[in-house]
């Protein structure tokens, strides 16, 4: 059985937790139990724009970044990972379940997105940081409100991530400038590893991103395309991912 079998189709609902509980007492179900523990369940909007925002759906670059993480799990173990613009949370949940980060900070600036994120965290058997009954084998999970336009050096220092990821956040010039400003906003601390994945819809916006990175003296390199194809995004889309060196 391959992972892609479970990932190839979106299910409306599935009793993951109750089925996993039954499998714990079974001596011949190690493979299936392992798959169920790594499966991701999402509650999300079916409309691209819902309640005037776009963060309630899963965008293609989030699927691409999740696939890259699954193929490159060594990028995340024992790290505190901050995700910018977590959206529905698929990339984050895949990393939490398969890449063993020490801590994971889901972030967004919209209250409805944050509410949905908290629900999806709990839906997947993870615990939020304040839960004293949290599973010690799972990463410490936080859902944080983070607005790139007003975030301060002090706020980022309090988070102290040593890994930062973002997917499909280059949707307009204003967002690009804010994102680069956030990346350059740091105190004298160890620079985190940064990965930004995006769909190349507007080459001018992508060019603006690399130009602004140069102005901020942030080095970058394009990561090669990965081999995994676990999720059903459009084959014709041009995907790209940059590794930033702050």
Task: Find residue 241's DSSP bridge partners.
Answer: 197
Long-range contacts (CB closer than 8 Å, 24 or more residues apart) made by 137-142: 138/96, 139/96, 139/100, 139/101, 139/102, 139/103, 139/104, 140/102, 140/103, 140/104, 141/96, 141/103, 141/104, 141/106, 142/103, 142/104, 142/105, 142/106
Looking at residue 80, what is its pLDDT? 94
Cα–Cα distance for residue pair 147/156, rounded to 1 Å: 11
Parse the chain into domains and list their residue ranges.
47-245
Contact partners, residue 202, CB within 8 Å, separation at least 6: none
Strand 163-167's sheet: what is its strand order?
140-145, 103-108, 80-84, 163-167, 193-199, 239-245, 219-222
The pTM score is 0.77
What are the pLDDT tens digits along the chain (246 aa)?
233 333 434 444 445 556 556 656 655 555 444 544 556 666 554 443 444 444 455 678 888 999 999 899 999 999 999 999 898 888 999 999 889 999 999 999 888 889 988 988 988 888 887 554 455 678 999 999 988 777 777 777 778 888 999 998 888 888 888 888 877 776 546 778 899 999 888 889 999 999 999 999 999 999 998 776 777 666 667 888 999 987
Find, among 123, 131, 126, 58, the residue nearest to 98 by Cα.
126
Q: Is the dihedral of CA 66, 242, 236, 171 positive or negative?
A: positive
Looking at residue 20, what is its pLDDT? 58
Cα–Cα distance for residue pair 45/184, rounded to 1 Å: 33
Looking at residue 166, what is its pLDDT? 92
Quote the CATH superfamily of domain 47-245.
Vaccinia Virus protein VP39 (3.40.50.150)
């Amino acid at each position: 059985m391959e992972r892609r079998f479970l990932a190839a189709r979106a299910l409306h609902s599935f009793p993951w937790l109750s089925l996993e509980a039954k499998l714990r007492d079974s001596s011949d179900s190690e493979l299936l139990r392992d798959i169920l523990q790594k499966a991701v369940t999402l509650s999300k909007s079916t409309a691209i724009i819902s309640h005037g925002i776009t963060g309630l759906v899963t965008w293609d670059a989030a699927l691409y970044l999740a696939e890259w993480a699954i193929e490159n799990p060594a990028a995340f173990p024992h790290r505190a990972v901050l995700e910018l613009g977590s959206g529905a949370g698929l990339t984050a949940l895949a990393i939490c379940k398969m890449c063993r980060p020490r801590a994971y900070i889901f972030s967004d600036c919209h209250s409805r997105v944050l509410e949905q994120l908290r629900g999806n965290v709990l839906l997947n058997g993870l615990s939020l940081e304040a839960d004293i009954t949290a599973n010690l084998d799972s990463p410490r999970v936080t859902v944080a409100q983070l607005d790139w336009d007003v975030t301060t050096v002090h706020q980022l220092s309090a988070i102290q991530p040593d890994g930062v990821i973002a997917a499909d956040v280059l949707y307009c010039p204003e967002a690009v400038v804010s994102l680069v400003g956030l990346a350059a906003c740091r105190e004298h601390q160890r620079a985190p590893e940064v990965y930004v994945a995006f769909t190349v819809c507007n080459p001018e916006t992508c060019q603006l991103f690399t130009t602004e990175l140069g102005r901020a003296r942030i080095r970058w390199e394009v990561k090669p395309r990965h081999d995994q194809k676990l999720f059903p995004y459009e084959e014709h889309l041009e995907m790209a991912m940059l590794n930033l060196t702050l």
